[in-house]
């Protein structure tokens, strides 16, 4: 057996481990969550024509640079209407917020597209938010109940960081 074959074989368990990008779920739940992540990609098609808030229209400097030096944020109608109403409380079931993160002020270099969707009953301990990180072509990089996301977002109103309402 050649050295190449051996090293290729050694990679297989590693690749299998990388394939499981879901949060804390195991077994079938991971597949269900991946399907949800892919459904959300379809649901947010054309998000760049969604509403933005007056304070966060177009490309803005990020507060902390986590998602890139600059970001742009869009809201589906449920999320936008909640913010515009300014009545406080939590986001309703079905609310979606989408963000592009860039490493430059013009938005030429897109790091990732991230989204958060409120799915009632999905993760009640963490605000029922489903988190996703996509590449530009829709490849799902992270998804589900992600402590890497809600751990930082929990300081916001109902886990939303860019504004309050």
What residues make contact with ligand HEC under the rule CB under 6 A? Answer: 62-64, 66-67, 71, 73, 97, 99, 114-116, 131-133, 142, 146, 148-149, 152-153, 156, 160-162
Beta carbon of residue 132, minimum distance to ligand HEC (angstroms, whole number): 6
Report the C-alpha gap between 19 and 31 in whole angstroms: 11
The residue (of 8 and 19) whose beta carbon lies closer to ligand HEC is 19
Beta carbon of residue 60, minimum distance to ligand HEC (angstroms, whole number): 7
56 alpha carbon, distance to own chain's centre: 18
Listed residue (5, 6, 37) closest to 21, CA to CA = 37
The residue (of 61 and 137) whose beta carbon lies closer to ligand HEC is 61
Report the C-alpha gap between 149 and 142 in whole angstroms: 10
The residue (of 89 and 156) whose beta carbon lies closer to ligand HEC is 156
Beta carbon of residue 22, minimum distance to ligand HEC (angstroms, whole number): 12
The residue (of 41 and 131) whose beta carbon lies closer to ligand HEC is 131
DSSP string, 70-114: EEEEEE-HHHHHHHHHT--SPPPTT-EEEEEEESSTTS-SEEEEE
For residue 160, list its beta bridge partners.
Answer: 157
């Amino acid at each position: 057996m050649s050295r190449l074959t051996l090293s290729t074989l050694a990679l297989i368990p590693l690749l299998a481990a990388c394939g499981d990008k879901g949060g804390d779920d195991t077994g079938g739940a991971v597949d269900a969550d991946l399907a949800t992540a892919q459904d959300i990609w379809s649901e947010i098609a054309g998000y760049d024509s969604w509403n933005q808030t007056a304070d966060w229209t177009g490309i803005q400097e990020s507060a902390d640079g986590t998602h890139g030096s600059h970001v742009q944020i869009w809201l589906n109608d449920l999320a936008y209407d909640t913010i515009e109403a300014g009545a406080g409380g939590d986001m309703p079931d079905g609310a979606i917020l989408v963000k592009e993160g860039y490493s430059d002020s013009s938005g030429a270099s897109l790091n990732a597209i991230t989204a958060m969707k409120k799915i009632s009953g999905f993760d009640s301990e963490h605000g029922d938010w489903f988190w996703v990180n996509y590449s530009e072509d829709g490849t799902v990089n992270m998804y589900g109940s992600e402590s890497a996301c809600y751990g930082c977002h929990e300081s916001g109103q109902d886990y939303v960081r860019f504004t309050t309402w």
